[in-house]
Amino acid sequence: MDVPVLVVGGGPTGLAMALFLARHGVGCLLVERRTTTSPVPRATHVSRRSMELFREAGLEEEIRRAGFEVVREDDPRLRTRPERHLPRVVLQAASLAGPGPVGVLETGDEELAVPGPCAPFWCGQDRMEPLLAKAAARHGADVRFGHELTGLWPGEDSTRARVRAAGTGRTYTVDARFVIAADGARGEIAERVGIAREGLGTVAHRVSILFRADPGRWARDRRFFMCMIQNPGFDGAVMELNTPGRWCAAVDYDPARAEPDGTYSARTCLDLVRAAVGDDRSDAAVDTVFHWKARHRIAAAYRSGAVFLIGDAAHLHPPSGGYGSNVGFQDAHNLAWKIAAVLGGWAGPRLLDTYDEERRPVGKATAEQSMLLDGVPPEPLGGSVVRCDPRTLIMGYRYHSAAVLGPPHGPAFPAAFTLRGDPGTRLPHVWLRTDAGERVSTLDLCHGHFVLLSADPVWAAAAARSAKETGVPLRGHHLAATGSELADPSGEFPRSCGTGPAGAVLVRPDGMVAWRTARAVPPDPDSAQDLVTAAVRRVLALPERAAPPVLGPPRLSRGSYRRVGSDG
């Protein structure tokens, strides 16, 4: 079978990739060797930035129904609707039920204060994966669980893969223009295509224990995002899961002091849970136990020819901070629109080089921050790494690549958090009003296409003419208090985006600013069009002058494949 994109791996990142591609109209086959989505509620935190991506994909309301909305600890909804809300507070206590003092380690107020259209959510992998899988299939992706990649042969213009269906043992061949390796921490695709992975390796051995317990008074009085517990019988963290009465306890362990097979026995795990709860009368019962390694590993490249790495296949680090799956969602979102642009003919192939240029520095910096949060000293990481504002990790990162027309290079994580419309950063959120009175965010305007935003109407007309000339899906919007298609009642847009009353900002389909101008004098329509067209061509790696593309499915050329790695 021929497909434009083959995604290998059906975890959260791979499923998100399939969804984002399908939303762009790109044909996609996803294969996952597991027969079902994950039953384990890992990767529970869905950040504000990730929720913005899923808002674009039409999943915001479904995630809202499946998880807890994360709110400030003084939010009144914690009393009126506790079943739908969770306080963004990290506590410290001797036990959950104990009478001892409870300290507050973190409130998360900074994250919640970042302006945006979406709240963060607490929604475990066991709930997110089915939502993503169904949405991807609903939009046209071919999602196949119980299908395992067994061979891979990269070619010049496409890649050949062999897949085995677990239920029947049948094998079949897939020819794909691009292959996305979302095969996780234990995936082999990176090694097969010659991409090295660097880092400190295993930094801790951990056990996560899913247990059931009647929360009783201790949970009603002390609801939390996470509780760090330390007593003679337990030293670790406890989290509430989305199902009432279900919890997760996690601790470090020494395999040399565990059972002969290097794991903890069921009895040991139950003792740990009872020590964490701190109530001998508790009816706590262990459901599931899984042992795992906290590791630090970064791919030396995110791309080899037609093969791209995303998620844990590209960057691996401890879960401290809850950044892992969120960085993977951002990988997928960044790459999906670029693949759609190249396959659609409205971008040059060199645009795909910017995926590595933009996402690898972010992945590396995020891994370093997670290591610091996990207690690893900065010396093994290079010595110069310092803790940064958590808002920067969530949505204050900055891209530097050929797809961003801005100032000289700087760090992926700037020293100070700011979102003010600088090229390479996420577009500032401003609430607008449509003619029908509907409230929309500036971020809602760039779903699936480029947008040019300005308080001066000349730029909207220039965008329309530029789109006709280049064939690029580009829309212009005039934003003003009155007399415009989209009202900006607060007048906040020119200030927040740095355009002033006469400038404009060009925003990519992923919500990142590609180019900005703050001209003191409005240009005439022709010069405005020339400026916009030149910026669009540079961002998309298009030649200076080219005929509008003829959109259609990509053509794959067979042959010239080279076999890599083992057959599995």
Range 500-504 average pLDDT: 93
| Calpha distance 475→344 (Å, rounded) | 17
| Calpha distance 490→493 (Å, rounded) | 8
Is there a single domain that holds both residue 339 and residue 290?
Answer: no
| Calpha distance 247→453 (Å, rounded) | 46
Question: Which is more confident, 223 or 368?
Answer: 368
Name the helix (H) or strand (E) containing 50. Answer: helix 48-56
In a domain, 517, yes or no: yes
Is there a single domain that holds both residue 232 and residue 310?
Answer: no
pLDDT for 385 equals: 87
Is there a single domain that holds both residue 252 and residue 342?
Answer: no
pLDDT for 485 equals: 82
pLDDT for 335 equals: 98
Question: Which is more confident, 223 or 19?
Answer: 19
In a domain, 561, yes or no: yes
Exposed/middle/buried for 357, CB within 10 Å: 0-12, 13-18, 19+? middle
In a domain, 388, yes or no: yes
**CATH, residue 283:** 3.30.9.10
**CATH, residue 489:** 3.40.30.120
Alpha-helical regions (H) of 139-185:
none
Is there a single domain that holds both residue 462 and residue 515?
Answer: yes
Exposed/middle/buried for 106, CB within 10 Å: 0-12, 13-18, 19+? middle
Beta strands in 166-302 (DSSP E): 171-181, 197-212, 226-231, 234-240, 246-252, 285-299
Q: Which residues contact 455 (CB under 8 A, 6 or more apart)?
A: 478, 479, 480, 488, 493, 494, 499, 500, 501, 502
In a domain, 546, yes or no: no
Beta strands in 481-551 (DSSP E): 486-487, 504-507, 513-517
In a domain, 136, yes or no: yes
Q: What are phi and psi of 221, to 5 degrees?
A: -85, -20
Name the helix (H) or strand (E) containing 483. Answer: none
For residue 558, what pLDDT band results from cuts at 50, 70 and 90?
very low
| Calpha distance 405→415 (Å, rounded) | 21
Range 206-229 average pLDDT: 82
| Calpha distance 132→140 (Å, rounded) | 12
Count the neighbouring beta carbons within 10 Å of the beta carbon of residue 419: 21
In a domain, 183, yes or no: yes
User: What's the sign of the alpha-carbon dihedral 260, 273, 376, 362?
Assistant: positive
| Calpha distance 70→47 (Å, rounded) | 9
Beta bridge partners of 227: 91, 238
Is there a single domain that holds both residue 50 and residue 86?
Answer: no
Indicate whether 560 pLDDT > 50.
no
- CA nearest to 507, candidates 482, 465, 472: 472
**CATH, residue 12:** 3.50.50.60
Q: How far is CA 562 from CA 68, 152, 153, 353, in A?
A: 48, 8, 5, 22
Range 87-100 average pLDDT: 88
Is there a single domain that holds both residue 318 and residue 398?
Answer: yes
Range 163-184 average pLDDT: 96
- The tokens describing 72, both together, are 């400030």
pLDDT for 221 equals: 65
Q: What are phi and psi of 338, to 5 degrees?
A: -70, -40
pLDDT for 219 equals: 61
Determine which of 53-57, 195-199, 320-324, 435-439 has the lowest per-residue pLDDT on average: 320-324
What number of residues does the chain have? 568
Range 522-543 average pLDDT: 92
Percent of the chain, pLDDT > 90?
A: 69
Indicate whether 494 pLDDT > 60.
yes
pLDDT for 206 equals: 92
Exposed/middle/buried for 307, CB within 10 Å: 0-12, 13-18, 19+? buried
pLDDT for 482 equals: 82
- Residue with tokens 């496409």, as numbered in its chain: 158
Q: What are phi and psi of 290, to 5 degrees?
A: -140, 135
For residue 142, what pLDDT band results from cuts at 50, 70 and 90?
very high
| Contact yes or no for 251/207 (Cβ under 8 A) | yes
For residue 564, what pLDDT band results from cuts at 50, 70 and 90?
low
| Contact yes or no for 334/358 (Cβ under 8 A) | yes
Last residue of a domain, one of 238, 270, 294: 294
For the chain, the domain total comes to 3
Radius of gyration of the chain (CA): 25
454-467 tens-digit pLDDT: 999 999 999 999 99
| End-to-end C-alpha distance for the chain, whole angstroms | 20
In a domain, 172, yes or no: yes
Last residue of a domain, one of 294, 314, 343: 294
pLDDT for 53 equals: 97
Last residue of a domain, one of 268, 294, 320: 294
Is there a single domain that holds both residue 28 and residue 140?
Answer: yes
Range 179-199 average pLDDT: 94
For residue 556, what pLDDT band results from cuts at 50, 70 and 90?
very low
- Kindly report each contact of residues 501-504 with a partner whose C-beta sits within 8 Å and lies 24 or more positions away, as own/partner: 501/455, 501/456, 502/454, 502/455, 502/456, 503/454, 503/456, 504/452, 504/453, 504/454, 504/456, 504/459, 504/528, 504/532
| Contact yes or no for 353/74 (Cβ under 8 A) | no
Q: Which domain holds residue 312?
A: 1-72+116-196+300-402+551-568
Is there a single domain that holds both residue 142 and residue 242?
Answer: no
In a domain, 7, yes or no: yes
Q: How far is CA 365 from CA 249, 312, 390, 393, in A?
A: 28, 14, 12, 9
The DSSP code for 311 is G
pLDDT for 557 equals: 39
Is there a single domain that holds both residue 88 and residue 125?
Answer: no
Is there a single domain that holds both residue 470 and residue 535?
Answer: yes
For residue 351, what pLDDT band results from cuts at 50, 70 and 90?
very high
282-321 tens-digit pLDDT: 788 999 998 989 999 999 999 999 999 999 999 999 888 8
- For the chain, the average pLDDT equals 90
Indicate whether 553 pLDDT > 50.
no
Is there a single domain that holds both residue 235 and residue 330?
Answer: no
- Residue with tokens 């990481």, as numbered in its chain: 381
Is there a single domain that holds both residue 246 and residue 227?
Answer: yes
